[in-house]
Structures are given as structure tokens and as C-alpha cells.
Amino acid sequence: MISKITSPDRLHGIVKPPGDKSISHRAGLLNSISEGVSHVSNFCVGDDRSSMLGCLKGLGANITRHTNCKISGAEECFEIIGSGLNGLAEPQDILNAGNSGTTMRLISGLLAGQDFFSVITGDASLRNRPMKRITTPLTQMGAYINGRDDGSLAPLSFTGSSLKGIEYTMPVASAQLKSCLIIAGLYSNSPSIIHQPAESRDHTERMLNSMGGDLEINGLTIKTGNKELSSVDVKVPSDTSGSAFWLIAGVCHSDSRITIPGMGMNPTRTGVLEVLESMNANITIENKHLEGGEPAGDVTASTSDLVATEISGDLIPRVVDELPILALAACFARGTTVIANAEELRVKESDRISATVDSLQRLGAQIEETSDGMRITGTHTLTGAEMETHGDHRIAMTNGIAGLLASGETIIGNSEDASVSYPSFWEVVSELQK
């Protein structure tokens, strides 16, 4: 699919991004191994949703999609009848996580503690993403895991085992690694103590606590337990990462005002708002409230006089998914923006450092690649060009927003890659161009 985009004179409107992917995945997984019946509405959309739900159903989870649900009042809702911690069944086929690293790593934590054999794989991109960071501590807990390159790469196989608690210092701040170990801890015969090097997304901790889980949090240290969970209904807030694309469009366009109702405002996810605030962005937040234990609010982004900033250190884990689109924002800021300590970007769906630099250079941006990030000097102008997605949904969407800001026509090949996390993205772009 090829998408052609031009910049409109005005960029005004209300955008409702899909439900938060991170929260959706955890709501599906944890409710499947809880006691009781739950309803999860505003579930994320796209291929990643299919990957997580497909893996859970492959393990025997009882998940039914309803429309116009009378209980949740939502147009679409998933009813999940929990089977308890030990109610899953040996899958009859290989589980497929598709392109979803979250699915691969969270489901691996679940499989490590089961008493049956299982195999999980993914698409070509996911099969080349590093898994040693989860297989190493899971093996220390007593899991029997085999995989390509000595357990470094999928497919990964799990043989029934009994887990024990460990004390583990994480090498990187990673919500996926942390969540994998917390989920495995539900099946351990003793507590695990996890030390984080820095703060990362805490959706798993919030949801487990709302389900009555045994979890102690002291600063960056987490102590897990294996208590049975109680199902909870969840109305998933709008995805913060998906919202970031429209926020950047709103602050960079010369005549814009974009409102995102019900955007997730979890403090471990709003690093993008902190960065935009440091850039002097015109952002307002109204109607702050809670959605299933997760904070949310209505966020409006308007035309701004942006200034350069530095994005590095402990902030990186909280903005890692938004760095490509923040690099685009830096093209419209006065001065030179530095992104550092972001080596993690090189092992995402693509090498997002190289992919971002390649994309923005094609548009005439003054951007250079460094070993752990980028340097961007704002020019306030970009010129339409032919772009590639590098097989990465976030690069595809970053390039789409760039097209809304660049003069002339921007042509994006393989733009369907955005459907991994945001199938309606190009429809929204078309509406905003009118």
C-alpha cells in the first residue's frame, strides 16, 4: 500500500486513538488466570491484539468478543472467564506472537511456570529480537527453556517445571522484562526480589494490585508473590504512544488544535508530555479521572513555538516508543535537540535510530545518527519526499505525521505497516487533511 500525503492549511479536530496496547495485553492475560468473570472494553486494535488473544486462546483461555455489551456499555467488549492460576491447558499448536514483543515476553513469563510443554514463535522480525534478557532470569528461576542461539532467539520452547524465587538485578529498565518476571513469580514457590535500574511502565503492578495480588513495591525494588487473583473489569484508556503522534502534529503545525479525549496519563508513560513541556509546547489537560485504576484525561495540543531539549538518562525508558516522533518534533524546534542513551531503539521492530534518521534526512531535516541516539537541529521546514517504513509501524506513523507537516507531497511505501498497532491511522490522516 502506498499513502500520499500533503500538509493541510489547518489541522483541527478530535482524535480518538485505540485503547492502550500495554494495558490491554495485561488485562487480557491477567484476567485469563484470575478467578471470576471480567469485561475489558476499548481493547487495543491491530495485529498485536490478535497476537495476544490468539496466544491466550491457544492456552485454553475463555475469551468471547461481544458487541454493544449490556454489562460494560461499550460498542465492543471482551468477556473473559478466568481459569485461575493453574487452569490453562497445553497448547495443541505452536503459539504465535506475530510482531508483538510484548506478547512474546509476557506470555513467556506465563509459560515458564506451567506444568506442560509449549512453544512460542513470532514473525521474521520478532524471531531476530533479543530474548536472552528474559530466558536468563527465567532459567535461574528453574524454567526449562530452549531456543535458537542458546535461548537468545525465538522460537522458544518451555518444558513443565517448578519455579523458585530469585533476587535479580535487571540489566536495563524494561517493562516487558519486569512484567515477564512478575508473571513468572505468580507460579514460584517463594518470592522473587527484582531490582530495577530505573523506572519503567508500571501497568502490570497496578493491575495486579487491583486484582488483590501479592506485590510489594519499595522504590525501584519489587517483591513478588504467588497469591490467587480476582478478575477486574477494565475500560482501557486511549493509547499514550498512539496519541503522541497527534500531539506532535498539533504542536508543530502552523495552525492547529487537536484534542485527544480519555488519553492514558499513567506517570510512567507521560514522559512524552514532560519532553514536550521542556520544549515549550502548548499542551492543556482537562477532565482528569481514573479508568480501571489507570489515570486518564482529555489532552489538547495547539500550535507552539518549540525550543530544543535533551532526552536522555532515566527519561529514556519512559519515552522509548515515542522517540521517533519526538525526533520529528525536534525538526520544528529552535536549537539542537540531543537524544542519548537510547541504544534500546536499535533492537525494536527495526533499528529505529537508523530508520528515523533515514526518514527525516529524506525530508531535508538536519539530523545525524550517533551510537546511542540522534542530534537534530531544527529548521522548521521539511519538504515532501518518497519514504520507507523499514517494516516498522512506528516509523510508518512518524512518516505519516511528517507528511502532514512537510511542504509538497510525501509518498510512503508499505504504509500498511501502521496496522500492527493502529489500523485506522491513515483514515485519521485523511480526515485531518480535509
CATH number at residue 361: 3.65.10.10
Per-residue pLDDT tens digits for 302-324: 999 999 999 999 899 889 999 99
- What pLDDT shows up at residue 46? 84
Same domain? For 298 and 384 the reply is yes
What's the pTM value of the predicted model, to 2 decimals? Answer: 0.81
- What pLDDT shows up at residue 201? 87
Distance, in Å, from the CA atom of 298 to the CA atom of 88, rounded to the nearest integer, reads 39
- What pLDDT shows up at residue 73? 78
Nearest to 311 by CA among 298, 324, 299, 292: 324
Distance, in Å, from the CA atom of 31 to the CA atom of 314, rounded to the nearest integer, reads 31
Same domain? For 174 and 47 the reply is yes
Same domain? For 208 and 131 the reply is yes
- What pLDDT shows up at residue 245? 98
The whole-number average pLDDT for the span 384-408 is 96
**Other residues' Cβ atoms within 10 Å of the Cβ of residue 358:** 17
Number of structural domains in the chain: 2
Chain-wide mean pLDDT for the chain? Answer: 95
Confirm whether 340 is domain-assigned: yes
Per-residue pLDDT tens digits for 284-305: 999 998 876 789 999 999 999 9
The whole-number average pLDDT for the span 197-214 is 92
Distance, in Å, from the CA atom of 271 to the CA atom of 278, rounded to the nearest integer, reads 11
- What pLDDT shows up at residue 50? 94
Same domain? For 51 and 189 the reply is yes
Strand pairing report for 167-169 and 294-302: unpaired
Same domain? For 77 and 156 the reply is yes
DSSP string, 357-377: HHHHHHTT-EEEEETTEEEEE
Confirm whether 232 is domain-assigned: no
Same domain? For 61 and 127 the reply is yes
Same domain? For 220 and 71 the reply is yes
Task: Examine the fold and report which residue of 227, 247, 264 is the final residue of a domain before the chain moves on.
Answer: 227
Confirm whether 40 is domain-assigned: yes
Distance, in Å, from the CA atom of 61 to the CA atom of 358, rounded to the nearest integer, reads 42
Q: Which helix (H) or strand (E) holds 261?
A: strand 256-264
Please give the grid coordinates belonging to residue 259.
Answer: 484534542
Distance, in Å, from the CA atom of 122 to the CA atom of 102, rounded to the nearest integer, reads 11
Distance, in Å, from the CA atom of 413 to the CA atom of 406, rounded to the nearest integer, reads 17
In Å, how far are 60, 201, 250, 275, 321 from 271, measured between CA atoms? 37, 10, 17, 6, 10
Task: Examine the fold and report which residue of 208, 227, 246 is the final residue of a domain before the chain moves on.
Answer: 227
Confirm whether 403 is domain-assigned: yes
Q: Give the phi and the psi of residue 38 in degrees, each rounded to 5.
A: -130, 160
Domain boundaries, position 345: 2-18+237-433
Please give the grid coordinates belonging to residue 2.
Answer: 502506498
- What pLDDT shows up at residue 74? 80
Active site residues: 321
Per-residue pLDDT tens digits for 100-159: 999 999 999 999 999 999 999 999 989 999 899 999 999 999 999 999 999 899 999 999
- What pLDDT shows up at residue 292? 64
Same domain? For 12 and 64 the reply is no
Same domain? For 369 and 250 the reply is yes
DSSP 255: S
- What pLDDT shows up at residue 186? 97
Same domain? For 261 and 138 the reply is no
Task: Examine the fold and report which residue of 169, 198, 227 is the final residue of a domain before the chain moves on.
Answer: 227
Q: Which helix (H) or strand (E) holds 277?
A: helix 271-278
Residue with cell 535458537: 148
In Å, how far are 110, 127, 176, 231, 316 from 148, measured between CA atoms? 20, 9, 20, 36, 30
